[in-house]
Structure formats: structure tokens, C-alpha cells
Amino acid sequence: DAKTTQPTSMDCAEGRAANLPCNHSTISGNEYVYWYRQIHSQGPQYIIHGLKNNETNEMASLIITEDRKSSTLILPHATLRDTAVYYCIVRVANTGTASKLTFGTGTRLQVTL
Amino acid sequence: DADVTQTPRNRITKTGKRIMLECSQTKGHDRMYWYRQDPGLGLRLIYYSFDVKDINKGEISDGYSVSRQAQAKFSLSLESAIPNQTALYFCATSDPGTSGRYNEQFFGPGTRLTVL
């Protein structure tokens, strides 16, 4: 699996967009980018994933650069409840292998008033 | 009701004791996982199971064992607990699914284990 690099921490004002970057310069053509978050001591929660195209769902948007070497998770209107650790994971989606996710240390997002 | 449940939610035990953490799911998923999380660190995979007949070691399986009693149940045992097994333990499930959704895992609320 490709290695990912994320900033250790970020701050965002409530109501503003939170843009969380992730570098994955060694990503392979068949690897997806996944984002999870973990609110204090709770189980991680899946947010979104993408392969090449930008993706949007009810929680967030995912922007992947054309060369796929980096991506940005966007929370369009951050709230205090979005305060969490955000994990960027790169992984193949091969049903013949186990879905063994590797969680690094992630980015701690603090949303403030 | 929660789709993935873990019992107990908190446990304090002593060095050398045997302890079992249990995980149950109602999602109908074949694949189940056990992770541990230490303060300030990410999650590390202990064991995973594709189905009731398939058990696989993760990156940190030493000192742990598992049992897949049924599709819905996956238990983690510490045969002789030691203090450095003090951690937050999470169970997760996934469905083989298709393409990208394959790596969407659903996590339980966690068990906080303290070994004195």
C-alpha cells in the first residue's frame, strides 16, 4: 500500500470550509484513496473514497489531483461536531485480498467557535 | 440499535489473567477485524476473518487469539494479559462489495482495556 503523509493538526473556524490535505506520491493505478475520521475514542467512521475523479457525498468532498499524488478532503461548513482525527488511507480494492486498512496518526482537526 | 457491538465497554484486569473481548454484528457481513489503538497512535490490525472458517493474523497478533463462533460473532482473547496490552480495542466488519466500497469498514464503539 502507498504511504500517506498528513499534517499532524489543523484548526478551522466553525462555519468555514475545512480542507485536509494528504500526500500519497507512491500511489499505484489500482489504489483508492479513503478517508475515515475518529471522534474522540469512538470507532472510526468511513467518510468517502475515490479513485480518479472528485467525489462528493452528504458528509464531504474529495478532490484528487490529476496525477493522483495528493488529495484534499473538504468539509464545506465545519461544525464543532467535526472535531476529530481524520485518516487518509490508500488501498487497493481487490476482493481477493483482505481489506486490511492501515491507520496512521492522521490529522487532528479542531473546529473552534 | 447499533450494527456492531462490543462487550465489555470497559475492563480492568490484572497481569496474567485471561480475558475475552466480544464482538457481535447485525450487518450480515462475512469479514470481521480486531484492531488496537494506543494513545496518540493510529489503529493496528490484530486479526481478521473472512468467514467462520478463515482466520488470519494481522500485524500485531502475538499475545492474542481469536475465535469466529458464527458469522455474526468474533471474539478476541488475551490468554495471559500483560500491562502493555492496555489499549482501546475496536472490532470492525466489512462486506466484499464492489470496487471502492470494498474497503469501507464499520467499527464498533470500542473496549477500553486496562491491565494492571
For residue B44, give how far its alpha carbon lies from the nearest alpha carbon of chain A (Å). Answer: 7
Q: Does A49 lie at the interface with B, CB-CB under 8 angstroms?
A: yes
- Which pLDDT band holds residue A99 (cuts at 50, 70, 90)? low
Contact B107 A89 (CB under 8 A): no
**Closest to A43 (Cβ–Cβ): which among B56, B90, B99?**
B90
Region for B9 from its dihedrals, namely left if φ exceeds 0, alpha if ψ lies in -120 to 50, beta otherwise: alpha
Q: What is the mean pLDDT of chain B?
A: 91
A22 grid coordinates: 494528504
pLDDT tens figures, B4-45: 999 999 999 999 999 999 999 999 988 899 999 998 788 899
The pLDDT of residue A113:
92
Q: Which residue of A has its CA nearest to B30?
A: A98
How far is residue A23 from each of residues A5, A26, A88, B26, measured CA to CA in Å? 5, 9, 9, 36
CA-nearest of A38, A56, A29 to A104 is A38
How far is residue B50 from each of residues A53, B1, B31, B32, B33, measured CA to CA in Å? 30, 24, 4, 7, 9
Chain B residues in contact with A43 by the CB 8 A cut-off are 4, 90, 92, 107-110
pLDDT tens figures, A24-82: 999 988 888 999 999 988 999 999 999 998 999 999 999 999 999 999 999 999 999 99
Q: Does A102 lie at the interface with B, CB-CB under 8 angstroms?
A: yes
- What single letter denotes the amino acid at residue B84? N
The pLDDT of residue A76:
96
Q: Does B107 lie at the interface with A, CB-CB under 8 angstroms?
A: yes
Q: Does B2 lie at the interface with A, CB-CB under 8 angstroms?
A: no
Q: Does B106 lie at the interface with A, CB-CB under 8 angstroms?
A: yes
Q: Which residue of B has its CA nearest to A96?
A: B96
| Among A57, A85, A99, A102, the residue to mutate for chain B (most B Cβ within 10 A) | A99
Chain B residues in contact with A104 by the CB 8 A cut-off are 42
A90 grid coordinates: 490508500
Q: Which residue of A has its CA nearest to B54?
A: A98
For residue A9, give how far its alpha carbon lies from the nearest alpha carbon of chain B (Å). Answer: 12
